[in-house]
A and B are shown apart, each in its own frame.
Chain A
Amino acid sequence: MTSWLLLATADAVSGVASGAPEGGLFDLDATLPLMAVQVVLLTFILNALFFRPVGRAVEDREGFVSTSRAEAKRQLAQAQRLEADLTEQLKEARLEAQKLIVEAEQESDKLYREALALAQAEANAVREKARREIEAEKDQAMAALKGESGRLGALIVDRLLATQ
């Protein structure tokens, strides 16, 4: 680019020498460095006013979104873990309840059978006793009847003998 710079200075020098520069399409002069300085200044101004704040806003949002996503993922995982945990507990509780019901049924069945057996035994005993009492009374009554009939028989015999 040195040739262009030389051309620019030559241009400027000739312009100054002749007093009124004649212009032209490729008229390089002090506009070039001033424009460069202006663009550098604009870079710093835009960096302060635009690139830094907007970049911070965008990156803050990206950070916020990604942390929110991570947080949501974490919470979802936790909820799923809790759900699995609770499902497991529920299953266990159901099994437990099933077991308890079966046990209770068996228990009540057993109690019922025991009570039934007891009641039957008692009933048998009572019946046995009653039977024995009846038997005894029957024997007694038979003995009494036997005695009475013997006495009556003897009486009848006596009477018959007496009449003859």
Chain B
Amino acid sequence: MVPLPFALPFAELEVGQQFYWHLANFNVHGQVFLSSWVVIGALLALVVVGTRKMEREPRGVQNLLEFLWSYIRDLAREQIGEKAYRDWLPFIGTLFLFIFVCNWGGALIPWKLIELPNGELGAPTADINTTVALALLVSLAYFYAGLSRKGLRYFEYYVDPTPIMLPFKIIEDFTKPLSLSFRLFGNILADELVVAVLAFLVPLVVPLPAMFLGLFTSAIQALIFATLAANYIGEAVHEEHH
């Protein structure tokens, strides 16, 4: 984004600036990995602390983890179905937890205190690479789920009610990852931009409602992504009862 005419010292807008690392002729966005490592580290720390001493009567963090687990289980079971949800529970759960901690990490951790040579730290899900990677993983996952469960009969799904559906179902295979990735990317980026613009214009108090709304949106987006991923997998493994 173009630099705005008057610059305050504590709020600047940078969009599309990347902190490049060069790895063997490839460029990667360093800020995405740095912030994703921080949030993954926080997530793993929580998990390790919560599962260190598992008891039959849960205490402390174990309660939270069990709540999360059963929440994710209910989500996966509802979308995928009783028979196959167990295989996909870790994947759906990881998607949900990763996106959730990324979104909230982007909103709650004061990244701006850390100066990078170029670009700025933020939610890893505000980068198109992350969301496309997640969406492609979902695509691979539902193809794999369908093929491994039903073999080549999986492709019956494409002509399911009538063969007329074939082109639409093929297009769906492209629109699914596209909509998944852009929905998440757009929401998180827009949320960050709104907060940044408001903070840029009025530094105090006024951005707070937008920040709370952002937290809400972030949680909802994580839930939507995980639910849709589970739904696609469930669609792929669904057995027709003739």
Contacts and interface: CB of A to CB of B under 8 A. Distances in A.
A29 B25 CA distance: 11
A50 B27 contact: no
A22 to B, nearest CB: 9
Contacts of B97: 46
Contact of B129 (A29, A40, A51, A55): A29
Contact of A16 (B27, B43, B128, B178): B27
Interface string B79-95: 00000000001110111
Interface residues of A, number: 41
A160 interface: no
Nearest to A45: B44
B27 A30 contact: yes
Contact of B65 (A4, A25, A26, A54): A54
Contacts of A39: 94-95, 98, 133-134, 137
A32 interface: yes
Contacts of A124: none
A160 to B, nearest CB: 139
B177 interface: yes
Nearest to B124: A35
Contact of B69 (A1, A33, A51): A51
B148 interface: no
B26 interface: yes
B20 A1 contact: no
A21 interface: yes
B133 A32 contact: yes
Given A21-B18, A29-B28, A60 B56 contact: yes
Interface in B110-138: 118-119, 124, 127-130, 132-134, 136-137
Given A15-B27, A23-B18, A30-B23, A54 B128 contact: no
Q: Which of A15, A27, A39 counts the most B-chain CB atoms under 10 A from its CB? A: A39
B216 to A, nearest CB: 24
A75 interface: no
A31 B44 contact: no
B69 A54 contact: yes
B90 A1 contact: no
A25 B66 contact: no
A114 B50 CA distance: 91
Contact of A34 (B28, B44, B47, B48): B28
Given A23-B18, A51-B89, A51-B90, A58 B69 contact: yes
B40 A42 contact: yes
A42 B98 contact: yes
A27 B30 CA distance: 13
B4 interface: no
Interface in B43-60: 43-44, 47-48, 50-51, 54, 56, 58
Nearest to B26: A30
Interface string A2-40: 001000000010011000110111111111111110111
A27 B189 CA distance: 14
Contacts of A44: 90
5 contacts: A28-B128, A36-B133, A42-B94, A50-B69, A58-B66
Interface of B: 15-18, 20, 23, 25-29, 32-33, 36, 40, 43-44, 47-48, 50-51, 54, 56, 58, 62, 65-66, 69-70, 73, 89-91, 93-95, 97-98, 118-119, 124, 127-130, 132-134, 136-137, 139, 174, 177-178, 189
Given A42-B98, A46-B97, 8 more contacts: A12-B26, A27-B16, A30-B28, A31-B133, A33-B133, A50-B65, A54-B62, A54-B65
